[in-house]
Structure 1
Amino acid sequence: MRIDLHSHSTASDGTQPPADVMRRARERGLDVLALTDHDTVAGHQAATDALPAGLTLVPGMELSCHRSGRSIHLLAYLFDPADPELPAECVRLREAREVRGRRTVERLVELGVPVTWEQVTELAAGAPVGRPHIARAMVAAGAISDPALAFTPEWIGTGGRAHVPRYALDPERAVQLVRAAGGVAVLAHPKADQGGRSLPDEWIADLARAGLFGLETDHPEHDATAREHLRALAGDLGLAVTGASDDHGELTGHRLGCETTAPEVYERLTAAATGATPITSPAGR
């Protein structure tokens, strides 16, 4: 069984619609895929409607968190979408994304980059605006040759000339919100150095005490040393080890299934959730 627990669609900052993500997942030989768009569940229904035979969908979301000037991402799985508190926080997070996006565009214009808010929202196609949409607009404007070049101190990377901070959840509170909604929380790419996202072990231990389920260890941005360290840390803290592609479509080279989660870990995760269950395609599809 091949299980990928982290992917994105055009419901946030991926480049493929949810239906295409599901189709590609099955073509890549996946049996289980979690759709984890940023701070939204907007893609879940379209993904469910397009679910091909043989593929199971794990409804999820990637929550934006922040601590001491550092961005932290928390993967939330199988929570109750009707829970009142978690969706309310997601509304605040999405509203903060728009404020940040507008201010970022203003700063880029001040730096001589000919981008407009209208161009960015067109690229977002109705999804909450994220920095990847702005990066794509910068490519279209000829300011950079590749979206990855936007995420540097030169431009919109953390601490960069056009970087704008925004509201985000305290990560311990986020874990508690997910658990209160019957979901399971996994810390995304905790040792990814890109963008200053590598987190201290002490912070991870704090999240474990708050009820964290696992660490996303097998991730494309983790080298062998980081993976070995995270496996040992997960063992010490009693946390599960997951793996996932963190696919964003064209932006990440269509890498669905490049990293996977062990079936026994997936079974533990689904058993721990009380808010929702994985979704399989109707018989005969």
Structure 2
Amino acid sequence: MEKVDLHMHSHHSDDADYPVAELIARCVREGVTTLAITDHNSAFSFAESDKWQSDTLNIISGIEIDCTFQGRNFHLLGYGFTPSDDFTQVHENFNDIQRELVPVKLAKLREFGFFIDDEHLARLANGRLPQEEQMGEAILEDERNANNPLLLPYRSGGARADMPLINFYWDFFGPGKACYQPVTYPALEEMADLIRDNCGIPVIAHIGANVKEEHEAILELMLESGVAGIEVFSSYHDDELTQRLYDFALEQGAYVTCGSDFHGRNKPKIEVGTCRYNSEQLVEIKRFLDIVSQ
């Protein structure tokens, strides 16, 4: 069956590591025929990826924007837009917010007795603002933390060792966790308008990763606020939630999309092109692709 993956990250995302060319080569190797690189708050990858367009590979412009809706933070995907200075401003605004939060996050981690080598963390960040996963990596690699029992779940054989870096993020920085820092991002409604103003289509990402209940009620409000589609097929959705989201999208007349959320070594269990959909569901995904490619 045709492989479509509309959610993946290149090194233009602070928490991913694949250069655009390597990411596209990986997609080709895995049989992906339509893709979008949706870097966090960055549209810079499209200028690089667009040159790989061919008769056998369809590449759509993409971005994933941190935004706030009714007091909760979500990720809004944008597709098929024309890159402009609006997206550069999104990137700059996000970096301004993160620049203020990084020292606060590091101070919280040090309260747990974790040793953090600032120079090592800077090397891992490679000139970018360090993200929570890189903080976890620096902590895990620091020999001074070798006997800290809080880190045992993330070491070889531990309960959280399957994806230690992203699990460290969720366990320490997820909503309600000890190092969580409340932050207000641009309003979802404003970001949906921005995407539309640049001829794109706004789609809410992996709702199952952001909330655990009342998915349909929240999505209905989002659709009323300018969101046009739902990422139904996601690495974060089990079969039951996927079917509910699919049925809901059809009932609401919303677009249906799919995405792996590939990051590279931060999420080693996630591979490009691994969205699970059947031939009937693929028809709905291609309906979206027909619109976004116009």
Q: CA deviation at 1:271?
A: 4.8
Q: Which amino acid aligns with 1:240?
A: Y
Secondary structure at the aligned position of 1:242 is classed as strand
Secondary structure at the aligned position of 1:20 is classed as helix
1:197-208 pair list within 5 angstroms? 200-208=215-223
2:58 pairs, out of 36, 45, 56, with: 56
1:159 pairs, out of 176, 180, 187, with: 176
Q: Which amino acid aligns with 1:171?
A: L
| Structure 2 unaligned regions, length at least 5 | 146-150, 156-163
Whether the 8 Å contact between 1:51 and 1:57 is mirrored in structure 2 is yes
Deviates more, 1:250-259 or 1:178-187: 250-259
| Structure 1 unaligned regions, length at least 5 | 279-285
Q: Which amino acid aligns with 2:226?
A: G
The CA distance in 2 between the partners of 1:86 and 1:44, in whole Å, is: 12
Secondary structure at the aligned position of 1:44 is classed as helix
1:120-269 pair list within 5 angstroms? 120-141=121-142, 142=145, 143=151, 144-145=154-155, 146-153=164-171, 155-192=172-209, 196=211, 200-253=215-268, 254-259=270-275, 264-265=283-284, 267-269=286-288
Secondary structure at the aligned position of 1:81 is classed as coil
- Any idea what the Cα deviations from partners look like across 1:132-172, whole Å, max 9, x if unmatched? 3223223323544321331345x222222222233412112
Greater fraction helix: 2
Matched residue pairs, number?
A: 271
Q: Which amino acid aligns with 1:96?
A: I
- TM-score (normalised: structure 2): 0.81
The CA distance in 2 between the partners of 1:150 and 1:260, in whole Å, is: 27
Whether the 8 Å contact between 1:3 and 1:260 is mirrored in structure 2 is no
Secondary structure at the aligned position of 1:3 is classed as strand
The CA distance in 1 between the partners of 2:178 and 2:244, in whole Å, is: 33
Secondary structure at the aligned position of 2:176 is classed as coil
- 2:95 aligns with 94
Secondary structure at the aligned position of 1:76 is classed as strand
Secondary structure at the aligned position of 1:74 is classed as strand
- Any idea what the Cα deviations from partners look like across 1:189-241, whole Å, max 9, x if unmatched? 11236xx5666423211221233221111111111110111112112211122
CA RMSD of aligned residues (A): 2.6
Q: CA deviation at 1:29?
A: 0.6
- TM-score (normalised: structure 1): 0.83
Identity among equivalent positions (%) equals 23
